[in-house]
Structure 1
């Protein structure tokens, strides 16, 4: 993973400011792109994982190797935004950040990139969205909720964290005293107005696991209808093609939950092109895979029909 980062130039930009706090987006430009030759580049937007609770932009703990290879192979520029994290924020706050990010992508980002690399232009008609876990959820939500994003294809891994996916959301229980106490203690110490945009893995992982075990994820996410799969499937006019990947031994996002999500998508929106790849492994199983691995090569044939 780390060996690939030197093959990119990193540019840090501000995509919005809220309450005096800058929200950052990182862009990775392949060094294989000449500084002289004029080039129109597709865009690969990456959302980081972390259960919407932790994580940071382009963090090696979450960013897989293959999207970096994919960007290089397609002369694409990767862009990855910060967003507010729970429980200081709720799901509606995060959706607001993602909406603002997409507005910025289509208005300000091309100017910022060409100002730094005058030979490069962004082709905003060739955008793909990718993400792992919570990042995959946000990639899917981008396709569902923000048609102005103009996402051509979604690539989402172990991402079925919708509150109405039954096999992902357990019933709340009072029996897990330790886990409930951990959640309660953290919630009580939050000061009004606090924003948290970046918390590197594995910080707060115990809080994430406790939320899942106790079934209290929806409590901090909130009840905004847009967070739910059924709402998205029944209200979105046009859904981009989707490639979804899942590990069979995933202890955080059970395969059964992703099975349920995929089944719902196919049942309600059967017109949407969808490829579902299942491979052995736990959460993050695909972290070190490369594009040449057969199952990924098959997925890239599907993706290649729509992007770049």
Structure 2
């Protein structure tokens, strides 16, 4: 079972007759990271307790869910959620995949206001953030947002990155929501391993975070099967990639083998 969705994952699911389950969750900045993570935990619990019956009913008993074979995956913020879910439920997950994940949440790239070119866009005004949050506070905008199908929040996201406004979303005392700090505190990924892919020219989530994850795991969990594939390209570089490309085959082989074993 896969817990995410993308063209590559759709192809992987078709190839291995897997079920893809995607969570809905409250998004930043209207909600806190704790609220977001509570939604992910509620989703995990729903998968464990309700999904098999739901699928059985929807397919007249034709499809059965195998909860012993779960691999998590996600892109960008979803990559962070895939990694943190792997740490939170290492015994219930076979292996973990993440594409250009947010790893180093304390990075100055996300927490300090300075000039950053994100996807070639100009520096967004700080007032964009202030006005958005004021509208949320007085009810002119929803206080709960869980999707953005038209990409209408893209400039707001860029503004948060450029202005370092995510610093308030990852308070220093919340080590349990920080991947690198969780590893320092002896949390461990599923023994089936971790596969991370990242574009070396990423201006939304710099590749340095994935290299830091690699360094931490070499030091703190050297026996873990960890594979990092860094390729040319920006955020979302894998949009036209196919499963049979050598770099993907090499990266996926161990994670997929552990998942299906």
TM-score, structure 2 length as denominator?
0.87
Equivalent position of 1:228 in the other structure: 178
Mean CA deviation greater in 274-283 or 201-210: 201-210
Equivalent position of 1:40 in the other structure: none
Equivalent position of 1:138 in the other structure: 81
Residue among 42, 58, 66 paired with 2:8: 66
> Does the alignment pair 1:218 with 2:167?
yes
Q: How many residues align?
A: 248
CA distance in 2, matches of 1:219, 1:272: 32
Equivalent residue of 1:100, what SS? helix
Q: Is the 8 A contact 1:291 1:297 kept in 2?
A: yes
Equivalent position of 2:201 in the other structure: 249
Residue among 33, 41, 45 paired with 2:3: 45
Q: Is the 8 A contact 1:153 1:242 kept in 2?
A: yes
CA apart distance, 1:177: 8.5
Q: Is the 8 A contact 1:129 1:151 kept in 2?
A: yes
Mean CA deviation greater in 174-183 or 92-101: 174-183
Give the CA RMSD over aligned residues. Answer: 2.3
Equivalent position of 2:119 in the other structure: none
CA deviation map 1:247-277 (0-9, x unaligned): 1111111222321232123222223210011
CA deviation map 1:18-43 (0-9, x unaligned): xxxxxxxxxxxxxxxxxxxxxxxxx1
> Does the alignment pair 1:307 with 2:256?
no
1:35-114 matches, cutoff 5 A: 43-46=1-4, 63=6, 65-114=7-56
CA deviation map 1:78-109 (0-9, x unaligned): 01011001111011111100001000000000
| Runs of 4+ displaced beyond 6 Å | 174-177
CA apart distance, 1:300: 2.3
CA distance in 2, matches of 1:162, 1:230: 7
Mean CA deviation greater in 208-217 or 220-229: 220-229
Gaps of 5+ in 2: 117-121
Equivalent position of 1:263 in the other structure: 215
Which structure is higher in strand share?
A: 1
Q: Is the 8 A contact 2:112 2:167 kept in 1?
A: no
TM-score, structure 1 length as denominator?
0.74
Equivalent residue of 2:73, what SS? strand
CA apart distance, 1:44: 0.6
CA distance in 2, matches of 1:168, 1:302: 32
Which structure is higher in helix share?
A: 2
CA distance in 1, matches of 2:71, 2:34: 23
